[in-house]
Structure 1
Amino acid sequence: MPDNGIWNPNRRSTNRLVACSDGECWACRERSHACGSTPQVCERRREVPAPWRSVPFLRTGQRPRAAYLSLSGTATHLLSPVDTYQQRPALDPDNAQPGNGEFPRITGRIQDVKTDPFRLDGLSALVTGATGDIGQAIARALARQGASITLLARSVDRLEALAASMEDDGAVVQTAACDVTDIEQVSTTAERVQSETGGLDIIINNAGGARFLANPLDINLSGWKKTIDLNLTSPFTVATAFGKSMVERGSGSIVNVGSVSGLRHLPGMTAYSAAKGGLYSLTRALAREWAHQGVRVNAVAPGYIDTSGWDAFDKAEVEESAGLKIPLGRWANPAEVAEPVVFLSSPAASYITGSILVVDGGMLS
């Protein structure tokens, strides 16, 4: 083995740090060597390598004898061959400061383990596209966890029917008729909901959908804009209009409902795929922008969901045309999308933001 200034296992059987012969190496200047009271001195002067290379090797069962290293990579002090851990000062978590050798005190929001972290009692949630199959499942799942729900959709009749059904199950519900692609309606509705609820805690951007299937060469600009407005622009306007109070208050959760087509293109869905891909970028952008205000922003990416919109299609043909098989062997039901949405909305996900949770039965695996 080359004589390179570190412990040489062929020279001696003990862990010894080789120092220079004239007392000018970093170990000599510290006046204490890792080898103990009698340092092994080299036969000729040579430079001792950087401190992190000068730490003696450890054999199985041996206690560490290494130098403490500062963040800059230089040795702060060396220890004699005794148990390193016994030499450390007692930790004082209440007064520890970063960089002083003690563990820094953790600050911030910590979940009370005595409570159910999935419960949403006392929280107010908004669900857009609430009258669709997935929207209904999400609204009901949130209500079961104790949240009061604001149902938002375009059809007043369908909203009232859903609200009545949920109230029969014991949910606290109110409705708001609004077209999420109309910016003025969104702004006006946000002010009213803010006044009635005292401020939202959860926003579920669920409104969306593929308006058509077409070859890119056959897509006209009007169809493109409508798809982008519904699936990308409206989540932004809803998040900013309804989420303003969250940012000002310093807490809240937003979950955007996307699609696996935003991660992998499905045939005929060029505009829809582009919109959902943009939605994921928006999710990450808002998560970074609002993290310091305590607002979390995440998304789910569902695969094929067995909703009424697919009733006229043959599911096997749909899968074959997409070139994707589902390892779990079936389509999901709306509740299997709703539960991940509830999780991301809840305190159980308090350290998750900017994430895209794929719910696809393994399609993209």
Structure 2
Amino acid sequence: MTSFTGRVAVVTGGTRGIGRAVAARFEAAGATVVTLARTEPRQAVGRFIATDLGSHGAVRDAFRTVAEEFGRVDVLVNNAGGARPGAALDYSEAAARAAFDLNVLGALFAAQCMYPLTPEHGGASIVNIGSVAGTRPSPGTALYGAAKAALASLTKSLALEWAPRVRVNCVLPGPVLTESLTAYYGGPEAAAVVGQGLPMGRMAEPADIADACLFLASDAARQVSGAELLVHGGGEAPRFNRAGHLPRRAAGIDGTGE
């Protein structure tokens, strides 16, 4: 994997869960890491700048600080996201707007501020953290799924507009074993049972998403832009698979199985 020594990586929402794992992975690969989030953790990875990622002005100020201190940005991982779950009928205007401000507009604002700080000869990369919720119906989290679908569309448009100076890709995680998701399922044991229902037999760890981000930002992916990379353990198992109705022997092209 490419060394990131001499490169500057900015990670939004980089203080816990997936974001913290991403920040730590880039730092281990040699990058100078800047994490942006609303609240400073007890121990941040790299340089921490308190930022309201749903505010264009706050994001602009944060990148101004990055420019003054480091002079460039080579990698941006737009990880900040989330939305309150609930029935679509119950969403207030404020909650709906907040979902798009954070998941879509925050990513756009950060990308806009990053672009002038990238090397003109190319080599810069943006990785947006989407979700499988943006690829299928998402009852109970409809606004979150809609926002992540918009982020995936934005990814593809920016990839076209900003090539070859900046590559733009999107990682689409399935369930990830973060503290918040573990609590949502009622604890580690319950979350592990849910993970066993995935084809790979477990939920992703934050490090799995971090590794995908590192790959997409690396020179090993130098021809990859506008892509959506699913990191979801194979997706949801089909009903016939879960019911144990798979044939004992795979059928051949002619249906004889030989």
TM-score by length of 2: 0.84
Matched, 1:203 2:76: yes
Contact kept? 1:247, 1:290, Cα under 8 Å = no
Runs of 4+ aligned residues of structure 1 deviating over 3 Å after TM superposition are: 247-251, 315-321
**Higher RCO (CA < 8 A, seq sep 6+):** 2
Distance 1:244 1:313, change over 3 A: same
Amino acid at match of 2:180: G
RMSD: 2.3
Contact kept? 2:209, 2:231, Cα under 8 Å = yes
Matched, 1:142 2:15: no
- In structure 1, the partner of 2:10 is 126
Deviation digits for residues 69-89 of structure 1, max 9, x if unmatched? Answer: xxxxxxxxxxxxxxxxxxxxx
Specify the SS of the correspondent of 2:230: strand
- In structure 2, the partner of 1:335 is 207
Matched, 1:257 2:141: no
Deviation digits for residues 147-199 of structure 1, max 9, x if unmatched? Answer: 1101111113x1x6124xxxxxxxxx322111111111111111110121110
Counterparts of 1:1-365 in structure 2, within 5 Å, are: 117-156=1-40, 158=41, 161-163=43-45, 173-210=46-83, 212-246=84-118, 248=120, 250-292=122-164, 294-314=165-185, 325-363=197-235
Aligned equivalents of 1:202 and 1:247: distance in 2?
11
Aligned equivalents of 2:39 and 2:217: distance in 1?
26
Distance 1:273 1:178, change over 3 A: same
Contact kept? 1:258, 1:302, Cα under 8 Å = yes
Aligned equivalents of 1:250 and 1:350: distance in 2?
10
Distance 1:185 1:313, change over 3 A: closer
Aligned equivalents of 2:14 and 2:25: distance in 1?
12
Contact kept? 1:194, 1:242, Cα under 8 Å = no
Structure having the larger proportion of residues in helix: 2
Aligned equivalents of 1:319 and 1:271: distance in 2?
27
Aligned equivalents of 2:25 and 2:209: distance in 1?
10
Aligned equivalents of 1:124 and 1:152: distance in 2?
13
Contact kept? 1:203, 1:243, Cα under 8 Å = no
Q: CA deviation at 1:215?
A: 1.7
Aligned equivalents of 1:213 and 1:140: distance in 2?
29
Deviation digits for residues 241-283 of structure 1, max 9, x if unmatched? Answer: 1222227454310000111101112221110000000000000
Aligned equivalents of 1:248 and 1:221: distance in 2?
40
Aligned equivalents of 2:229 and 2:236: distance in 1?
12
Alignment coverage as a number of residue pairs: 234
Q: CA deviation at 1:299?
A: 0.7
Q: Which sections of structure 1, spanning at least 5 residues, go unmatched?
A: 1-116, 164-172
Deviation digits for residues 197-246 of structure 1, max 9, x if unmatched? Answer: 11000000000112x22222221211110101110110000000122222
Specify the SS of the correspondent of 2:43: helix
Contact kept? 1:305, 1:333, Cα under 8 Å = yes
Q: Percent identity?
A: 37
Q: CA deviation at 1:344?
A: 0.4
TM-score by length of 1: 0.60
Aligned equivalents of 1:239 and 1:247: distance in 2?
14
Q: Which sections of structure 2, spanning at least 5 residues, go unmatched?
A: 238-258
Contact kept? 2:10, 2:35, Cα under 8 Å = yes
Which of these two proteins has the greater Rg computed from alpha carbons? Answer: 1
Distance 1:119 1:255, change over 3 A: same
